[in-house]
Amino acid sequence: MYFLSLVINAPARITGGPVDYVNPLVGTLSSFELSTGNLYPDISLPWGMNSWSPQTGKNGDGWMYTYTTHKLRGLKQTHQPSPWINDYGAFSLMPTADRPQADEEKRASWFSHFGEEARPYYYKVYLADYNATAELTPTMRCALFRFTYQKGREAYLTVDAYDKGSYIKIIPEERKIVGYSSRNSGGVPKNFRNYFVMQFDRPFTYLAAADGTALEDNKTSVEGNHALAVVGFGQTGGAVTVRVGSSFISAEQAEVNLSRELGSRTFDDVMQAGADEWNRWLGRIEVDNNHLDHTRTFYSCLYRALLFPRSFFEEDAQGHLVHYSPFKGTVEQGRLYTDFGVWDVFRALFPLLHLVYPEMGAQVQEGFANMYRESGFLPEWASPGHRNCMVGNNSASVVADAYLAGLRGYDANLLWEAVIHGANAVHPQVKSTGRLGFDHYNRLGYVPCDAGINESAARTLEYAYDDWCIYQFGRALGRSESELAPYRQHAMNYRHLFDRETGLMRGRRQDGSFQTPYNPLKWGDVFTEGNGWHYSWSVFHDPEGLIRLMGGRDVFNRMLDSLFVQSPDFDESYYRAVIHEIREMQVMNFGQYAHGNQPAQHIIYLYNWSGQPWKTQYWVREVMDRLYRATPDGYCGDEDNGQTSAWYVFSALGFYPVCPASGEYALGAPYFDNVRIHLPGGKHVNIEAKGQSGRYRYVNSIKLNGKNYDKNYIRRSDLQHGLNLRFDMSDQPNIRRGTAPKSAPYSFSNAD
């Protein structure tokens, strides 16, 4: 007989806090054709500099982890904000057994989701081919790995620094590996490198390195296209601990980060600290768990909303905050944040940050100011430098919303200079930064569709909103009326694209005539990842003005209604293929309403302006019940750096920032019986909606601090002071509540 002693491992992590509800695998069952989030399990701290993910896809594949695959080829440090933008500075670690393995296909091991545990602060996987487990737990810039090998089998670890320029050096006398990865997807200067250091707790019994996959035994150093190394630990089995740090600044700074963040801390200490950190930030919003599925979805969404913007700064040996400038290639003072597309995240992610996490929001504004200092522009798509993607000049919305939310401690006057500059210039290389077509726009009041500028109507509508943001920001800063006048006027530029014949927004030529032919179901062309039906509602700052253009509330409501019941027909000819966003609209059974992409995400809330708030309540519930789940296929399209999650978080609270910077949130209906928001400064927001359910989805009445409340919005200032909001829910719409014009939220046409 032959016995092995049984080691009883700690049970699945139970912290007792909200992080226990988070499922990092949500959104990972995605493909090029159809996105259910296009996410990887992001194992990191909130706003961490580095994310870590198991890797099932080939090196460089944007779909780095796909739920339906069976083999895992590494554990990867990643900075990827989206598969469409891809990664930079990635490298991976992979334990193997029996023989050294370089090739990423050959070293891959079978694994199962039953042998996997994914927490935001911890990841563990059983690698079946090697009878080994891999665990990792992250800090802001480092991670602690624990690889547990079978006794009697030769244990190895492959370190893959990726191709397109990398370096690895093995230092056996120090039980250390150092190196760098310089692979990137653009948006960096030539000297870009991610320097890493790995400190092992065991000596190496074997070492080899390769440029590519042809390992050379005892080779300690390789610098070339694709640096790769394998180290061995013999047959004694058991756990090998590896402390991994990195830096975008230097190899020395990687050591500083490693010693500061990991030092000699144990795996369990780091894991506990990570869980505490997540609970601290997630715990700002408490929801009941009367419906466990909803609670899981809520915190899985809130987790996604706390990952980006990514911290891109480090603390040097003297304790100064510094960052590698992805614009200049130099080391600069202060904070920087990156990896977000403003076109997506200006809508709800930044407003969530500014309301619930204002101290973080202020630091991000410091980063915005540094981006302007170093590159001459604010970000529109950053990863890590400016990237040519999407449209709009919506950095103005982020800057204005931050300042009007009361965030301070950064150079707001410099940001004023930045938004004015960005409204009247375009980046010489990165055309989506600044305002493409600003000269046409300033002359005509719109970007014409026949001037060689694509997606001109989307640009016009967003620039008009951005001008309103600039106007509000300037007013708050006390800028002169003469400085503000052009922005106040241009805020109404959306009117130039309204076509009375179709009742929709439409492309317009330089001579003033409308684009012909016009198919409002055609995606792209003068619009961006949407059609005329989607984009016609992109008047965030003046829904009342839009209502008047359309011909009054009745027409407006009928137009809104028809969005949800029209068959999901489409014309994809602009893209020459059915892009996944189109397919997602087609398959969700929501008519033309395309919740899977950003242009639609505020539309449901517009009934608050047109006297039918119960339709907002109806549709918000439909979307929350039908289009969000805490499962691997849990999103109805790209998640997009927290934006689609922030929609759910706000909507679950019962309100949504249709117009960031207006200081008002349009009401929906809470998704929980009890919500508590703990704001900095000891202010608490209590939201009650006893008995809400799929059936009891309608708002009968609302009490604000005990008094009847007939508005269809809640003011930011009221939330910031702390309040009690009580919703009386009903299974029937109350068609008398919230119908008066004075109940409607902010519109520029009604403002002073």
**Residues at the contact surface with Ca ion, assessed by CB under 5 A:** 597, 638, 640
What distance in Å separates the CA atoms of residue 312 and residue 258, rounded to the nearest whole number? 16
Residues 6+ apart with CB under 8 A from 106: none
Q: Closest distance between Ca ion and the C-beta of residue 98, in Å?
A: 44
Q: Closest distance between Ca ion and the C-beta of residue 137, in Å?
A: 31
What distance in Å separates the CA atoms of residue 644 and residue 631, rounded to the nearest whole number? 15
Nearest to Ca ion of 597, 645 (CB atom)? 597
* Phi, psi angle pair for 344, to nearest 5°: -80, -55
Contact 313, 332 (CB under 8 A): no
Q: Closest distance between Ca ion and the C-beta of residue 344, in Å?
A: 6
Q: Closest distance between Ca ion and the C-beta of residue 525, in Å?
A: 18
Nearest to Ca ion of 544, 638 (CB atom)? 638
Nearest to Ca ion of 459, 716 (CB atom)? 459
Q: Closest distance between Ca ion and the C-beta of residue 584, in Å?
A: 9
Contact 609, 744 (CB under 8 A): yes
Nearest to Ca ion of 638, 718 (CB atom)? 638
Q: Closest distance between Ca ion and the C-beta of residue 65, in Å?
A: 19
Nearest to Ca ion of 401, 640 (CB atom)? 640
Return the closest-CA partner of residue 660 out of 677, 648, 647: 647
Q: Closest distance between Ca ion and the C-beta of residue 598, in Å?
A: 5
Q: Closest distance between Ca ion and the C-beta of residue 523, in Å?
A: 13
Nearest to Ca ion of 31, 225 (CB atom)? 31
Q: Closest distance between Ca ion and the C-beta of residue 69, in Å?
A: 24
What's the chain's length in residues? Answer: 752
If you search the block for the tokens 């050294």, which residue do you land on? 100
Nearest to Ca ion of 389, 685 (CB atom)? 389
Residues 6+ apart with CB under 8 A from 76: 52, 53, 54, 55, 64, 90, 91, 92
Give the residue at shortest CB distance from Ca ion.
638
Q: Go through 86-121 and write b for each residue having 16 or more CB atoms within 10 A of its CB, e for each that does not.
A: bbbbbbbbbbbbeebbbbbeebbbebeeeeeebbbb
Contact 600, 530 (CB under 8 A): yes
**What are the DSSP calls for 389-450, one per residue?**
-S---THHHHHHHHHHTT--SS-HHHHHHHHHHHHT-B-SS-TTSB-TTHHHHHHHSS--TT
Contact 158, 173 (CB under 8 A): no
Nearest to Ca ion of 126, 381 (CB atom)? 381
Return the closest-CA partner of residue 9 out of 239, 236, 263, 237: 239
Q: Closest distance between Ca ion and the C-beta of residue 287, in Å?
A: 26
Nearest to Ca ion of 295, 651 (CB atom)? 651
Q: What angle do CA 640, 644, 650 make, to 5 degrees?
A: 140
Q: Which whole-number Å values give the CA distances from 225 to 47, 567, 704, in the listed order?
A: 31, 51, 63
Nearest to Ca ion of 363, 597 (CB atom)? 597
